[in-house]
Structure 1
Amino acid sequence: MSEPDFVHLHVHSEYSLLDGANRIGDLVKACTQDKQHAIALTDHGNMFGAMELYQSASSSGIKPILGCEVYLAKKSRREPHNKKENGYHHLTLLARNERGYKNLLDICSTAYTEGYHFRPRIDKEYLSSHAEGLACLSGCLAGEINQHFLRDEDVKAEELATTFRDLFGKEHFWLELQRNGIDIQAKANEALVRLAQRTAIPLIATNDIHYLRQEDCHAQDVLLCINTQAKRAEKNRFRFDTDTLFFRTRKEMGEIFRDLPHALSATMDVANQVDLKLEFGKYHVPLFHTGTSETPTALLDRLCEEGLLRLYGADPAGVAKARERIEHEKRVIREMGFESYFLIVWDLIRWAREHGIPVGPGRGSAAGSAVAYVLGITQIDPLRYDLLFERFLNSARVSMPDIDIDFCMDGRERVLQYTRDRYGVANVAQIVTFGTMASRTVVRDVGRVLDVPLKDVDRIAKKIPAGPNAPSLEEALENDKDLIAIRKERPEFEELFEFSKKLEGLARHISTHAAGVVISPRPLIEFVPLCTHDGEVATQWPAKQLEDLGLLKMDYLGLRTLTILARALVNIEKRGGTAPDLLHLPEGDPATYRMLIAGDTEGVFQLESDGMKKLLARIKPDCFEDLIAILALYRPGPLESGMIDMFVRRKHGEEAIEYPHPLVEPILKDTYGCIVYQEQVMLIASSLGGFSLNEADNLRKAMGKKKPEIMAKYADQFVSGAVKNGATAHVAQAIWDNIVKFGGYGFNKSHSTAYALITYQTAYLKANHRAAFLAANMSCEMSSTDKVKAFWDDARRAKVEIHGPDLRFSGWTFECEGEGVRYGLGAIKGTGERAIENLLAARDALQKERLPIGMHELCARADSSEVPRLCWEALIKAGALDFGGVNRGMLVHQLDSALAEGSRLAADRKAGQGSLFGGPAEPEPTKHEHGGPNDDAHAWTRAETLRAEREALGFYVSGHPLEERAGLFALLSTVRTSELATRSGGSELTIAGLVVGFTELIVKSGSLAGRKMARFRLEDLEGSVAVTVFPRTLEAQQGRLAEDTVIVARAKLEEHSEEPALILEEALSIDEALKRFDGGLVVELEPTDRERLAELKSAFASSPGKSPVWFLVNGDDGYLRRVRASKDHAVTITPDLAEKVHGLIGRGRLRLARI
C-alpha cells in the first residue's frame, strides 16, 4: 500500500527518565528519513526535552510539536497520591499555539511546584483553567478513559470523553488509538471505536514511542530494570509486554491502521493546527531599579567615575588612560543594552560585602573589564595586566556577558535569598542539569540487571577509561585490546557491552547546576517550565537553552577558599595580630616564594596537586606574573606540547629569548617570549597584524575550533597586516606559525590572573601566619577525615603543634592556641553541632562560676536530651576528657552513672532543690575522675586507646601503633602510600602497614559464588590505601589478615582506578618478610658517625647471620661510595637489630638492599 500522511504525536525521549530510550537527534533524523514533516515530544510529566526538540527539529526542517504526557490526579493535585482514593492517570497534551505553549509551561511547572508526590501531578480543576490553545489526546492504556473501559465502565468513559471534548473544543480533542499487540489494548481500542461512533469524537493513531528500532526493545527493558532496581530474570517485575513501541514508519503505521485511515490522517490535522514560533535573539534582562529618580545609565556613569577616582586618583596619567578605556567599554555596554546587567551584578556583590560575605576578586574573562573593576565587581586591574575587554564582551559577538561570581561557601545561600527578595521569588530559579549514564556507570548498572558477577563487573568497569576526555564505550571497545579480549570471554559479556553501548549517555536523573541561577524580568513560568529538586525550584531546561532564549544566567559559585581566607584573618586577630589587607599584600614576599618553590603547598589554592608541586620546583616562581603563568600552563595542552619545557629553559637563562619583531616584545616579555595566554594572541594580532580587537577575538575562537579554511583566511590577513607594520613576509609567516603552534593552547589570562591573586593570598597567609591558616583549613574540612589528616601531617612537617581535643579549651572548629592549633570538636565522629554547643555552654557556665570541670560536672550541667550518650563516648575516645588524668576506658565505664547523676541533679535544679547552703546542685568529685587510682579492670591498654581514638577521629593523634617500628617498616616497603599516585597501574609493590576496616564479604554470584573475599585499608605513617583481597588470596593467608594486624603486603596497583587502590597478592608478618628477604643492610654514615662504628659493630655482633652489611660513605671527591663490611659483621636482619641501629644513627639512614 502507499505510504499515508502521518506524524508521530505520542513520543518519549530519554527525558522520560529511565523509561524512554530515544535520543532527540535520532528521532529527528528518523523523521527526515521517513519524510514525516512534524514530530511531537510527550515525555512523562515534564518538558525537559522540549527546547532541544524545538531547536533540533526546526534546524532540520521538521515542525516541532511541544507536548507532555501529564499525570492527572483523580481528585486533587494538592492531596498526597493514593492509588485508590487519589491515583493518577495519563493524558497527552500538545501546544497548538503560543497561548497553548504558555499554558503547557504553566501546567508542567505547577505539577512540580504544587502537585509533586511520587510524580508531578495536575488535576482537572487546574487543567480546566489552562486548556486554551492545547490539543488533547485521550492517552495510552494508563489514560482514565481507557481505564474506565478496562473496568467495563463505559458510561463513565463516555462522560469523561465528552467533558474533555467540551473543555478543549470538539476540534482539539481526540480518542487515542494504539495498536501495540497488548491484549487489553485491543479491548480498549474496540471500546474507543464504539465511543467515537456514538459521540463523533475523532480517533487518532499513535504508537507511544519509547525506543527507535524494534530491536531496541531489549535495551529499553534493561533501562526499566535499572529504574525499578530489578533483575531482568525476575518473573514478576514491571515490564512492557510488547516490542512494538518503536518509531514506526508511515508505511508500517499504514499497515496496522489500514482499516482506520482517518485515524492516521487525524495526526496531520493536529500538526496543521500547530502554529508556534519561539523567539530567539532577544534578551530578557530585568531592568535595574535604582530606588531613586536616577536612571540606570546615570547610576552606572556615577559609580564608574567614583570607582575611577578611588582606584586611579593618585596618578593623573593613570586616570586619563583608565577613563579612556572605561568610556570605550561603556559605549559597548550601552549599545548592547547591558547597563542593567552590570548594575545587577554590582548590587549583588555590594550587598554581599556589606553583609560580611567574602567575594572573590574575579573569575573568567570578566576580569578583563575596566568597568567591572571600578564597580568593584572584580579586584584585578585589567590595565596593569594587559587584560582585554573584548575577550569578555564585544559588539561583534552577539551574546550575553557572563560574569561568574565566587562567594564564600557559607554565604552563597544568603546571596541567593537576597536575589529572590530583590527580583521576586517567581523570577529567580536554579538551573537543572542532567546526570547521564557514563560508561563506567552504565556498565555497572547493566551488570546488576543482567546479574553478572560483581567481581567481573568491577574488573570490566575499571578497564574502561574515565574522565572528561575519555572515549565513548563504543570507541574503547574498538581500540582497547583488554576490553576487546574481555568481550570475547563469555556470551554474557557481549550482551553486557551491547546494552551498555546503547544506553551510554542517556539522561539518568536530574540535579541542579552547582552554581547557575537564572533571573528574569517577569515570572519565569512565562519563559520556561519549572521543576523542583531537593526542595528548590529549578528550570526544566539547562543553561545553554536558557541563554538561547535570552534569559539572564549567572553563576553563584561557593568557593571554599574564600571561607578559609576569611577565617584565617579572624584567627590572626584572635591571636592579637593584625590581619593583612589581602588586596595590598607585599609583592614578591620572599617567604611565600621560598615555600612555593619547596612544594609546601597543602591548602594553597590551585597548587596542591603533585603535578603542580613538580612544576613549581621547575619554574621556581619569584613574581606574581610567574604565578599567573603557572596556573595557565598546568593543563594537558602545554604539558604535552613542550611549551612548559621552553618556558622553564627561558626563565632560567638556559635558552635565549628572541623576539621576532619589536611590537611582539612587550606582549610576550612577562612569559619569556612564550605564547601562554589567549590575550597575547589577540594583542599580537591587533598590534602587529592590524586586526581590530573584535577581529582578534574572532581569531581566538577560530583557533579553538581548529578549522583549516577559517585559519587560512586569518593567516592571509595577519601576514598582510604585519607586513604593513614593518615585518618582512618571512618574519610575519614565522610569527603566524608560532601563533598556530602554541596559541591554540593559550589560556584565558583574565581568569588566570584573578585566580593567581587567590593563590598568592593563600600562599602568603600560609607562609606568614601558618597556624591561623591551618586552623581555617581544618575548620572548613571537618567533614573530610582525609583532608584533616593531610593538614595534620602538614602541621607536623612544619613543626606547628596541633593540640588534641580538650573540652576545657576546644570549640566546635579548630582554633589558634598560642603558636599552635587546638583541635575542633566538630571533627570528632559522632558529635553534632547542637550537642557541642550545649556542652560548651555548660563548660562556659562552670568556668564563669569558677567551678571544677570534669565529666560528672558537665553531665550535670548539659542537657541530656541534646547531648546523647554516643556523643559523650566519642569525646572520651577522642581524648577530649583526658585532662582529668583518668584512663579513657574507665571514663567510658563511669559514663552511665555520670549521666544518671546528671539527670537527677538537673531534675533537682528544675524543682528548685539546691544544695544544703542554697547554692546550685553539683555532683561530688569522684576519686577516679580527679586523680584516683587507674588500675581498674576497665582501663584500656595503649593499643585499645589508640584504636578507639582512630575510631573517633579517623586517624591517630596522640600516637601511632607503627611509630615504634617506623624505621623497620620503611626498610620493608618499596613505596609509601603517599607515593602511590606517582606509580603506574599494574605496578608490583610492597608496603608494610596496619590493617584497618577489615571486612569480609560473600561473593553472591558467578564461579566464585559462596566464597569469601575481603576489603580493608592498609595504613602506614603517611596515609592509607584501599586493598581488595579476592577469594583465592584470602584463603591462602590462613588468618594472617585481621583488624589492627601489622602486615607486609605484596600487591599490585589497580589499573584505571580513580584513586590508588591495591589488589593483595600476599600478606606476610614482619618476621616472615625479614626471613624471606634475600639481601643485606645498607647503612648511610655521616662524618660524625665514625665515633659510633664500634657501637654499630657491637649491634651487628648481637645478631650474627649471613646477610652482608654495606656502609654508604662520602669519599674525598664528594661522591657517595658503598663499602662492604667484612664477613665477620654479616647479620641476621631482625626488628631488634633495626631498632638498635636506628637508635645509634637515627631513622632514614638504614635500608634493605638486594644482593
Structure 2
Amino acid sequence: MFVHLHVHTEYSLLDGAARISRVVEKAHKLGMPAVAITDHGSMYGIIDFYKAAKKKGIKPILGCEVYVAPRSRFQKEPGRDDFKYHLVLLAKNMQGYRNLMKLVTAGYLEGFYYKPRVDKELLEKYNEGLIALSACKAGEIPELLLAGEEEKALQAALWYRENFGPGNFYLELQEHGLPDQKEVNLKLLKLGEKTGIPLVATNDVHYLERGDAGAHDVLLCIQTGKNVEETNRLKFEGTEFYFKDKEEMRETFSAFPAEVLENTLKIAAEVELEFTFDRMYLPLYDIPPSYQNAGEYLKALCYEGLAKKYPQVTTNLKERLDYELDVINKMGFAGYFLIVWDFIRFAHQNGILVGPGRGSAAGSLVAYALSITNIDPLRYGLLFERFLNPERISMPDIDIDFCYERRDEVIRYVVNKYGEDRVAQIITFGTMAARLAVRDVGRALNFSYGETDRIAKMIPFEPGMNIDRALELNKDLAELCRSDQRFRLLLDTSRAVEGLPRHASTHAAGVVISGDPLVEHVPLQKTADSIVVTQFPMNTLEELGLLKMDFLGLRTLTIMGEAIRQVNAQRGENEKLHLDNIPLDDPRTFALLSQGETAGVFQLESSGMRSVLRDLKPGKIEDIIAVVALYRPGPMEQIPVFIESKNGLRPIKYLHADLEHVLKETYGVMVYQEQIMEVAAKMAGFTLGQADLLRRAIGKKKKEILDEQRLIFVQGVVKKGYAKKLGEDLYDLIVKFASYGFNKSHAAAYALIAYQTAYLKANYPLEFMAALLTGIMSNSERVALYIADCRRQGLEILPPDVNESDVNFTAVGANRIRFGLAAVKNVGRTAIETIIETRKKEGKFTSLQDFCSKVDLRTCNRKVLESLIKSGAFDSLGGLRSQYLNIMDEALTNGQQLQKDRLNGQMSMFSYLGDTASPVSAHDELPSIPEFSIKEKLLMEKEMVGLYISGHPLNQYRLILENLRGVVPAAELGEIGDRRNVAIAGMISSLRLIYTKKGRPMSFLKLEDLTGEVEVVIFSDLHEKYQQELQEDRVVLIYGITDYKEEEEVKIICKDITFFPAEPRQLFVRIDDEKPFGEMVSLKDILASYPGGTPVYLYFEKNGKLLLTGQECWVKDNEDELYTRIERLLGPDCLKIQQLETG
C-alpha cells in the first residue's frame, strides 16, 4: 500500500494544478486511506482540504513544503541568500499543526526574501509534533549530495534527525525520470543505510493525471510571463508529476526496499489531528472595575445612550432593549458589542465619519443606543431577529462604513488596542474566470492578441459563467472548438485552469480580531505593502470561530465630510451643519429627487434609477428605502406597480385587511424580508425567530423544504382563525417574494446616506459638487460627467491657478468651483504643499519668475512647472502659455541661482533695502510669440488634467449634438448592460488600425463626448467602407452594440457611422406657406435620400416660424445634387447655408 505525502494543490499558486476536491476524489477512488497536501510556503488550502477529506472518510495529513534559508532568515544578501532549500513538514497532531502555522508565519513575517523562508533556529524552536521529509532535489541534503558534499550532507541529515527526533525525519526518494534523480536516490539510500534514517517514497504531485502535464506547463508560463515556445524558462521535464496509484508507485520504486512505500502508511498512521469548528474565540474587552461583567457594562452604556437618542425612555423602549440585551448575553456576545462600540466611539471622537449602518445590524436597538448604527429601528420597523435570531445561534455580523480616507486610522487603533499579534486583515484570492483563463492561456500558448480576444469575447459575460456553459450557449464557439484543433487546445487548456486561484490579495474590508495570538489559529503573511493578512479567507476564519468584521471605506462619507467642512468654513460655531441634524422632510431634497437630478447622489445616480425617481416622485424617506430595495434584478418588475399604487393610479389591494399594517408603507407591495417575517408572525402565529428561519428555509428553494414549510405555515394561519385558502395564497405570495425580498435594515441605512447626499446637493450644491469632484479626482471620466452636471446647475468651473487653488476642488464665491492642484498630472502632494505654504507666507505670485524665485524648486521641478503651465495654472498672471513654456527653463535657472545666493547669505541690493521682491520677480521678460491655438490649449489641458477645462472641441457642434435623439452619453454607457443597441455621438480622439489574419484592416477608435470616452470597435466591412473619412478629430454619430469584457470598460461594436462635416454648418429651406402637402412629402423624401449630420431648418416665410426638422431629415454637407433637387422642387433662392457658431 501507499499514500501520497507530497502534493501541490491549486494553492501552490500558478504551480499546482491539482485541485483539492479532485485530489480527495482521486485518493478515495484509488482506495488510499490518507493523503497529504504540501503547498509551497503556505497553508492557504489546509481547512478546505481537511473538510473535503473528512467528508470522504480519508485521513487528511496537513503539511507544507517550506523554504529553508541557507543561513539566517534575517540575512538577505543579494547573490548569497537568493537560493533556498526545500523541506516537507507534516503535522502529526494539533501541536504540530500549531507549530507549522508558526513556522509558515515566521517565514513570511521575518524571513521573506523572494520566498517565505524559515531557518534552523525556527526549526529547533517549533519542531514538536512535526514529521519532516528531506524533500525533492531542491532539499538541502539532495543538493549537497549532488554537489559531491557527502560529509556536509551527512551532518545535515544527522541535524534533522536530532532536531525532529528519531522516527520523525525521513529521507525522501522521488523518481520522475530526471537525469540526476537516479544518482541522488542511490546516494540517499546509502546515507540511510549509514545513519539508520528511514526512507520514504513520494511523487512530487503537481497535477492529477498524466494528461494534465500540458495544462501545468501553461500554468508555469502564466506565472513567469513566458510562452510555451520559449526555451529559457521554468519547465518540468517529463510527465511524471501526477497523482499515481499504488501499482505505478510500486513499479517506479521496484529497485528499492518495499519499506520506502510502506513508510508512507506508517507516517499516515502516526497522524491524529481533529479540528473543532463549533467553538468561538472572541477577544475580551476590558471593562471598568465597577462592573461585574461585560453584560452589565453593556446594559449601562445602552441605557445611557438610549436617554440621548430619545426624549423619553418609554416602557416599549425598555422592553425592546432588555429583550435584545437578554439575547445578546445568552449568546455570549456582550463583549463583541463592546469591542465594536469602542472603535466606533474612537472614530466619532476623532472626527472620522461613520455610516449610519450596514446590513441587518441596523435592526438592533442596542446598536442604535451605542451609536454603532444611527438609524432608529423602531421608527422604520426594523427587526432585531433579522440580525440575531435567538432560535439560530450564529456569529453576529456588524459591517461598518468609514470615511474612505481615514478607515486605516480605525484599523490602527484596533491593532494598538488589542495587539499586533491579535489583529490582521483578511486574504482573498483572485481566480481565473473563464474569459481571463482564455486570455492567460492564449498568451502562454503564443496565440495572437486578436485570436485570443476573439475567443474570450465569445464567452458570455455573466456571473458564474464557465467554458462548458459558454460552449452550450454559443454555437459559433462550439463549432470553432470542433473544427479548429488550435482553438480546441486553447479552450481545453483554459478549462483545465479556469477557477484556479491566480493571486492572493487583501480583502477590501475584512479584519479579524482574536483574544490570543492569531498564529495559534491561523497562519499569517505580509502583503507587498507590509499589511499582515491571514492565510485563510473570510469564511474559513468564521468556521474556526474567529471574530471577523468588515471595516469598509465608503468614498461617499469622505465626500459628505468634505462638503460639510467647506460649508462650515464660512459659518459660526452655532451655525455649523451636522449630518445628524439634517431634516428628513426637506422639500428641496425631495424636489431634486423627483426631478431625477441625482448625479453624484449615493445609490441613486444611474440613468435607470433617475427615471424611476422621476416617475415615483418620492415624498418621504420610506419611499427612498423602498426604491433602494426594489431597484435590483428580480424585484425591479414590481417597480411600476409600486409607483402606480403610490401615486394613486392603481387601487391598493391586500389579500386580507389584517395585512394592511404590514404592507401599507410599501403600498401593498411586498418589498422587504422583514415583511415576510411580519406576515408569518401576524398571520400564522410564528415568533419572529421562527419567521426568520422560515424566510431562510424558503430561500433555499428545495421542494421538500417548501412543502414542509407550507404545511406548517398553513396550519398556523388556520390556527389563528383564518381560512385555509388564505394560508395557501399567503404562502404562495411569500415564496414568490422570498427569492428577492431585500433586507430592510440595509436598505434603510443606505437610503439614509442617499438622502443625506441628496440634501447636500439640493441645499449646498457648490460645496457638495466641489467635494464630489475631489472624491473622484483620479477618474477623469467621472470628473467630466460631474463637471457637465455642474454646468447644468449654473456652476462655473475655474481652471487650476497657482494663486487660488487649494489641494482639492474648492467652492469659490456664490457659484464657482476652483480646480484643485492635485488634479494636475505630475504635481505631487509635496509640490502642492510647497506652493500653498509659500503663497501664504510671501503672498501671491506675480509672475513665473517670481514663482521660481520663491518656491522650493527641489519639489517644484521642471516637470511640475511644465504641467502647471499646460494646465492653465499660470494663465491669471497675464502671460500666454506659449510664452511661459518658452521662458520656463530660464526662469528655473534664475530661480535656482537666486535661492542658492540666499542660502549662501548673499543679498541683493533690493533685499538689503527691505524690498522682498527680487529683481526678477516684478515682471516676466515675455517673448513676442503667438499663443497656441484653442485646439492646442485644449489638448494640453486634456493631457494634464484628463479633460478639457477652458472649452471643448465639440462646443461648435453643441447645437447638433443637443438635438440628436436617443444618444447615450459616454459616461452612462456602463449602466446600459451588455449586448444593447445604442447611439453615441462625439469626436474621434484616437484611432488604432490592425489587420486581421486574412489581411483586412479593422480599427479601434476612442470616441469622446462632453462626458467621457468609450472605445469603439469597427470591423473590416465598415472600416473599408469609411476608411477615407475615419480620421482623428472627426465628429461622428456611432450606431452600435454594447460589449462588456471582464474587468474592463464597456466597448461599442460599431454597426454604422454618420459623419458630421469638419466645419459644422446648418441648412435653411425657405417654404411658401401655400405650398401643397404633396410637395412637403417630396421634400422629406429628398432630404431622407442624403442622410448626414447637417441640421435642416424649415423657414415658413409668411408667419416667420422656424422649425428644426427631425434627425431623419438631416443631410450630408456639400451635396450639389441635393441642393439642385430642392431648388427644382421649391424654386430658386429657397436655400441658405450658414456656418454654425461655436457654442
Task: Give the TM-score normalised by the residue count of structure 2.
Answer: 0.92
What residue in structure 1 maps to residue 325 of structure 2?
A: 330
Deviations 1:38-87 (A, max 9, x none): 11110000111111111221222211111100001111111116555562
- The within-5 A match list for 1:155-170 is 155-170=151-166
2:584 maps to 1:587:
yes
> Secondary structure of the residue that 1:433 maps to in structure 2?
strand
CA distance in 2, matches of 1:885, 1:1083: 42
2:667 maps to 1:672:
yes
What residue in structure 2 maps to residue 1127 of structure 1?
A: 1130
2:170 maps to 1:174:
yes
Instruction: Classify 1:1094/1:802 alpha carbon distance in 2 versus 1 (closer, same or farther; 3 Å).
Output: closer
CA distance in 1, matches of 2:495, 2:383: 44
- The within-5 A match list for 1:83-122 is 84=80, 87-122=83-118
- Amino acid of the structure 1 residue aligned with 2:594: I
Deviations 1:933-983 (A, max 9, x none): x7x235312222222122112111111122123334567897354365576
Which of 899, 906, 909 does residue 906 from structure 1 map onto?
A: 899
Which of 561, 564, 569 does residue 574 from structure 1 map onto?
A: 569
Which of 1021, 1034, 1038 does residue 1010 from structure 2 map onto?
A: 1021
> Secondary structure of the residue that 2:421 maps to in structure 1?
helix
Which of 287, 296, 303 does residue 301 from structure 2 map onto?
A: 303
- Amino acid of the structure 2 residue aligned with 1:1021: L
> Secondary structure of the residue that 1:664 maps to in structure 2?
helix
- The within-5 A match list for 1:152-231 is 152-231=148-227
- Amino acid of the structure 1 residue aligned with 2:502: R
Instruction: Classify 1:926/1:315 alpha carbon distance in 2 versus 1 (closer, same or farther; 3 Å).
Output: closer
> Secondary structure of the residue that 2:948 maps to in structure 1?
coil
What residue in structure 2 maps to residue 1062 of structure 1?
A: 1052
- Amino acid of the structure 1 residue aligned with 2:204: D
Q: How many Å apart are 1:124 and its aligned residue?
A: 1.2
> Secondary structure of the residue that 2:65 maps to in structure 1?
strand
CA distance in 1, matches of 2:1029, 2:372: 62
What residue in structure 2 maps to residue 1118 of structure 1?
A: none
What residue in structure 2 maps to residue 944 of structure 1?
A: 936
2:683 maps to 1:688:
yes
- The within-5 A match list for 1:412-491 is 412-467=407-462, 469-488=463-482, 490-491=484-485
CA distance in 1, matches of 2:560, 2:1101: 45
- Amino acid of the structure 1 residue aligned with 2:782: K
- Amino acid of the structure 1 residue aligned with 2:343: L
Instruction: Classify 1:987/1:76 alpha carbon distance in 2 versus 1 (closer, same or farther; 3 Å).
Output: same
Instruction: Point out the more displaced range, 822-831 or 485-494.
Output: 485-494
- The within-5 A match list for 1:1-12 is 5-12=1-8
Conserved 8 A contact 2:568-2:577: no
Q: How many Å apart are 1:614 and its aligned residue?
A: 2.2
Conserved 8 A contact 1:905-1:922: no
Instruction: Point out the more displaced range, 102-111 or 120-129.
Output: 120-129
CA distance in 2, matches of 1:6, 1:546: 33
- Amino acid of the structure 2 residue aligned with 1:308: L
CA distance in 1, matches of 2:149, 2:620: 83
What residue in structure 2 maps to residue 854 of structure 1?
A: 847
Instruction: Point out the more displaced range, 74-83 or 208-217.
Output: 74-83
CA distance in 1, matches of 2:477, 2:1133: 51
Q: How many Å apart are 1:500 and its aligned residue?
A: 0.5
What residue in structure 2 maps to residue 1119 of structure 1?
A: none
Instruction: Point out the more displaced range, 574-583 or 404-413.
Output: 574-583
CA distance in 2, matches of 1:404, 1:241: 49
Conserved 8 A contact 2:812-2:818: yes
CA distance in 2, matches of 1:102, 1:182: 36
Instruction: Point out the more displaced range, 377-386 or 899-908.
Output: 899-908
Q: How many Å apart are 1:1062 and its aligned residue?
A: 3.4
Q: How many Å apart are 1:928 and its aligned residue?
A: 7.1
Instruction: Classify 1:982/1:515 alpha carbon distance in 2 versus 1 (closer, same or farther; 3 Å).
Output: closer
- The within-5 A match list for 1:822-971 is 822-847=818-843, 853-916=846-909, 917-919=912-914, 922-924=917-919, 929=924, 936-937=928-929, 939-968=931-960
> Secondary structure of the residue that 1:996 maps to in structure 2?
strand
Gaps of 5+ in 2: 1066-1086
Q: How many Å apart are 1:245 and its aligned residue?
A: 1.3
Instruction: Classify 1:541/1:782 alpha carbon distance in 2 versus 1 (closer, same or farther; 3 Å).
Output: same
What residue in structure 1 maps to residue 1041 of structure 2?
A: 1053
- Amino acid of the structure 1 residue aligned with 2:1130: K
Conserved 8 A contact 1:1107-1:1131: no
What residue in structure 1 maps to residue 1075 of structure 2?
A: none
Q: How many Å apart are 1:535 and its aligned residue?
A: 0.8
Q: How many Å apart are 1:986 and its aligned residue?
A: 6.6
Q: How many Å apart are 1:299 and its aligned residue?
A: 1.4
Conserved 8 A contact 2:968-2:982: no
Conserved 8 A contact 1:74-1:89: yes
Deviations 1:353-400 (A, max 9, x none): 101111111100000111111011001111111111111112322221
Instruction: Classify 1:721/1:600 alpha carbon distance in 2 versus 1 (closer, same or farther; 3 Å).
Output: same
- The within-5 A match list for 1:508-907 is 508-533=502-527, 534-576=529-571, 578-639=575-636, 642-819=637-814, 820-847=816-843, 853-907=846-900
- Amino acid of the structure 2 residue aligned with 1:946: L
> Secondary structure of the residue that 1:653 maps to in structure 2?
coil
Conserved 8 A contact 2:982-2:1042: no
Q: Over the residues paired in the alignment, what is the CA RMSD in angstroms?
A: 3.1
Q: How many Å apart are 1:926 and its aligned residue?
A: 7.5
- Amino acid of the structure 2 residue aligned with 1:863: D
> Secondary structure of the residue that 1:43 maps to in structure 2?
strand
- Amino acid of the structure 1 residue aligned with 2:513: I
- Amino acid of the structure 2 residue aligned with 1:1053: I
Conserved 8 A contact 2:513-2:548: yes
What residue in structure 2 maps to residue 48 of structure 1?
A: 44
Instruction: Classify 1:828/1:470 alpha carbon distance in 2 versus 1 (closer, same or farther; 3 Å).
Output: same
> Secondary structure of the residue that 2:401 maps to in structure 1?
strand
Deviations 1:272-292 (A, max 9, x none): 111111222111111100244
What residue in structure 2 maps to residue 139 of structure 1?
A: 135
CA distance in 2, matches of 1:852, 1:187: 78
Q: How many Å apart are 1:994 and its aligned residue?
A: 2.7
Conserved 8 A contact 1:452-1:492: no
- Amino acid of the structure 1 residue aligned with 2:861: P
Conserved 8 A contact 2:368-2:374: yes
Conserved 8 A contact 1:73-1:88: yes
Task: Give the TM-score normalised by the residue count of structure 1.
Answer: 0.91
Conserved 8 A contact 2:279-2:545: yes
Deviations 1:293-313 (A, max 9, x none): 43322211110111122222x
CA distance in 2, matches of 1:172, 1:633: 61
CA distance in 1, matches of 2:203, 2:398: 46
CA distance in 2, matches of 1:689, 1:603: 44
Deviations 1:620-641 (A, max 9, x none): 22211111111111111212xx
Deviations 1:638-680 (A, max 9, x none): 12xx322322232222322122233321111111111111111
What residue in structure 2 maps to residue 1115 of structure 1?
A: none
Instruction: Point out the more displaced range, 1015-1024 or 194-203.
Output: 1015-1024
CA distance in 1, matches of 2:1103, 2:921: 56
- Amino acid of the structure 2 residue aligned with 1:235: T
Instruction: Point out the more displaced range, 345-354 or 803-812.
Output: 803-812
Which of 336, 344, 353 does residue 348 from structure 2 map onto?
A: 353
CA distance in 2, matches of 1:265, 1:78: 39
Instruction: Classify 1:825/1:329 alpha carbon distance in 2 versus 1 (closer, same or farther; 3 Å).
Output: same
CA distance in 2, matches of 1:366, 1:976: 39
> Secondary structure of the residue that 1:583 maps to in structure 2?
helix
CA distance in 1, matches of 2:1108, 2:784: 38
> Secondary structure of the residue that 2:171 maps to in structure 1?
strand
Which of 1053, 1066, 1078 does residue 1090 from structure 2 map onto?
A: 1078
CA distance in 1, matches of 2:709, 2:1101: 69
